[in-house]
């Protein structure tokens, strides 16, 4: 039986470790066993962001050189526990691409990359002196 964990809408209690089971390490109370949704790391795919921004063409030569790419179209960015399809083997309208578009890829002056929520990208990029991939600089004429 699963029970909702109070105050945490997407987590359920799948079981209980009885009180005293970990008393040898100082835990005397019952401990809930919860199931957690795994975060899909493909949302932070650098090549996916570059493709979505029009910076690369998304050719097999480009995405097959990815460290996480597996022959046959797999992606192990989430680890081997949850192999998934490479984004480039999915339709651009697939939910996985929509999730990627909620994030922004930032490239710092030294070449390091960072990913942040799109709604905070401008502020974070300014702090890091980074470029937001796919952003277009817009200037308004003064009146």
Residues 72-127 have pLDDT tens digits of 899 998 877 667 899 999 999 999 999 999 999 999 999 999 999 999 999 999 99
Those residues with Cβ within 8 angstroms of residue 3's Cβ, 6 or more apart along the chain or in another chain: 12, 13
Q: Are 114 and 128 in contact (CB under 8 A)?
A: yes
- Asked if the structure places residue 65 within a domain, the reply is yes
83 and 126 part of one domain: yes
48 and 118 part of one domain: yes
Structurally, how many domains does the chain consist of?
A: 2
17 and 73 part of one domain: no
What percent of the chain is predicted at pLDDT more than 70?
Answer: 83
Cα–Cα distance between 15 and 21 in angstroms, integer?
14
25 and 47 part of one domain: no
The residue range of the domain holding 23 is: 3-35
55 and 20 part of one domain: no
72 and 126 part of one domain: yes
77 and 119 part of one domain: yes
95 and 25 part of one domain: no
What is the arithmetic mean of pLDDT over 8-32?
A: 83
pLDDT at 40: 83
What is the arithmetic mean of pLDDT over 24-39?
A: 83
Going from the C-alpha of 116 to that of each of 24, 31, 37, 88, the distances in angstroms are 41, 33, 20, 21
24 and 67 part of one domain: no
Q: Is the pLDDT of residue 15 over 90?
A: no
20 and 83 part of one domain: no
Confidence of residue 41 (pLDDT cuts 50, 70, 90): confident
């Amino acid at each position: 039986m699963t029970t909702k964990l109070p105050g945490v809408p997407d987590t359920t209690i799948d079981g209980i470790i009885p009180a005293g089971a970990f008393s040898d390490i100082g835990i005397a109370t019952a401990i809930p066993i919860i199931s957690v949704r795994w975060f899909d790391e493909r949302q932070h795919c650098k090549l996916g962001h570059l493709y979505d921004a029009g910076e690369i063409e998304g050719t097999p030569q480009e995405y097959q050189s990815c460290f996480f790419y597996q022959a046959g179209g797999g992606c192990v960015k989430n680890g081997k526990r949850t192999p998934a399809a490479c984004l480039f083997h999915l339709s651009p309208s697939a939910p996985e691409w929509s999730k990627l578009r909620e994030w922004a890829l930032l490239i710092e002056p030294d070449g390091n990359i960072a990913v942040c929520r799109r709604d905070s990208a401008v502020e974070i990029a300014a702090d890091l002196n980074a470029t937001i991939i796919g952003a277009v600089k817009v200037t308004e004429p003064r009146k």
